[in-house]
Amino acid sequence: MYNILENLKIEFQKAKNALMKAQKICIISHRSPDGDAVGSNLGLRLSLEAMGKEVVSACVDILPENSTWLQKADTYVQDFNYEDFDVIVSVDCGALKLVAFTESKPEILSEEKPYINFDHHFSNDGFGTINIVDEHECSTSSIMYKFLLYCDWPISRDVATCLLHGIYFDTGGMMHSNTTSEVFKIAGELMAKGAELRRVATMLFHTTPINRMRLWGRILERAYKNEEGVVVSAVSKEDYEASGAGSGDTGGAIDFLNAVPDAKYCVLLSEDEEKGIVKGSLRTQREDVNLSDVAGQWGGGGHPKASGFGMAGHLKPVVNWKIVSDEGDAHGTDLKF
């Protein structure tokens, strides 16, 4: 058994009691879901269904293509009736706005029914009636694994695959700095239970259609490092049209931006043509940069090394030109236009 903080054990027990008493449960993944949001959702769902519970997975947005192969992923709903369920659960939602359904269903927050909040983001302020939040975990899926072990609930091959999918995604294929020895231990245990590592790795990081490659080419071509050492690039709706790709195809390009030597951090700005917003994705390899604070300037958040934000509007390119003295004259003047 893994070491679990006493306050989390209390929340684990509350969640176990609530879920055992419930018959109908709705599990919500955050808007614009990623591998961890889907993997932790379906891992919990499949375990609960194995015990005879009726469970629905919900998200306001469609799932990313790299996660649609997981068991029961094709049964996600994009809306639900609050009154139909005994317990509401959200997974991997670093802020209340990412749950999304609370905007149209404020009764979720009424405390009329248990609302279990599973998450690992530092920005999570504990908006559930039961809050299982540990910002030191690499993923929500790793928290979910410990929760299932604590409860002694079924972890089948499919459950293990879903949880490994979430862990593998949020650790960047076991390459990010959040990959600890414990992460490898959990991954090994999940593989021992039958988790399909090869398929997880292939679907998440080794499957790239031609149109997505074309889009990445545009992103990489216009990348630059500014005077503050920040690598910046952007992708517009015109880029989507020209490459035959969509806003969901930007994932993966930022890992190339984050590979630039000596960069402070990198930012990828992308237009979401459907929602009318611009999303900012931030990554860094440095220990002295907290991207959660950086993203917080624009209402976003996340982790110290991986964060994001969203703002209403569209992208407008701005070109700056500068005249610099060739002789390096200390008394010369640098002109920006």
Per-residue pLDDT, averaged over 52-59, amounts to 98
Is residue 75 predicted with pLDDT exceeding 90? yes
Question: pLDDT at position 274, please?
Answer: 75
Mean pLDDT calculated for residue range 17-36: 97
Q: Tell which residue, 281, 283, 290, has the closest CA to residue 259.
A: 283
Least confident of 4-18, 99-113, 295-309: 295-309
Look over the chain and give the mean of its residue pLDDT values, rounded to a whole number. 93
pLDDT at 336 over 50: no
74-83, 279-288, 320-329: the lowest-pLDDT one: 320-329
Q: What pLDDT shows up at residue 248?
A: 80
Contact 298, 311 (CB under 8 A): yes
Q: What percent of the chain has pLDDT over 90?
A: 80
Whether the predicted pLDDT of 240 surpasses 60: yes
Per-residue pLDDT at 43: 98
Q: Say if residue 112's pLDDT is above 50.
A: yes
The amino acid sitting at 252 is: G
Q: What per-residue confidence (pLDDT) applies to 324? A: 72
For the residues 122-144, what does the mean pLDDT come to? 96
pLDDT for residue 114 is more than 50: yes
What percent of the chain clears pLDDT 70, i.e. is strictly above it? 96
Give the integer Cα–Cα distance in Å for 322 and 332.
13
Comparison of pLDDT for 303 and 312, the residue scoring more: 312
pLDDT given for residue 58 in this prediction: 98
In this prediction, residue 317 carries a pLDDT of 85
Topology annotation, domain 6-205? inorganic pyrophosphatase (n-terminal core) (3.90.1640)
Residue 176: predicted pLDDT:
87
Residue 319 has pLDDT above 80, yes or no: no
User: Is the pLDDT higher at 327 or at 131?
Assistant: 131
Q: Which fold has domain 210-312?
A: Diaminopimelate Epimerase; Chain A, domain 1 (3.10.310)
pLDDT confidence bin for 6, thresholds 50/70/90: very high
CA separation for the pair 304, 293 (Å, rounded) = 8
Confidence class of residue 328 from pLDDT cuts 50, 70 and 90? low
pLDDT at residue 329 above 70? no
Buried b (16+ CB within 10 A) or exposed e, 288-305: ebbbbebbeeeebbbbbb
Which residues of the chain does CATH 3.10.310.30 include?
Answer: 210-312
- Kindly tell me if the per-residue pLDDT of 9 is higher than 80: yes
pLDDT of residue 301: 84
* Burial of 312 (C-beta count, 10 Å sphere; 0-12/13-18/19+): exposed
In the chain, list all ranges with CATH 3.90.1640.10. Answer: 6-205
The closest of 31, 83, 80 to 59, measured between CA atoms, is 31
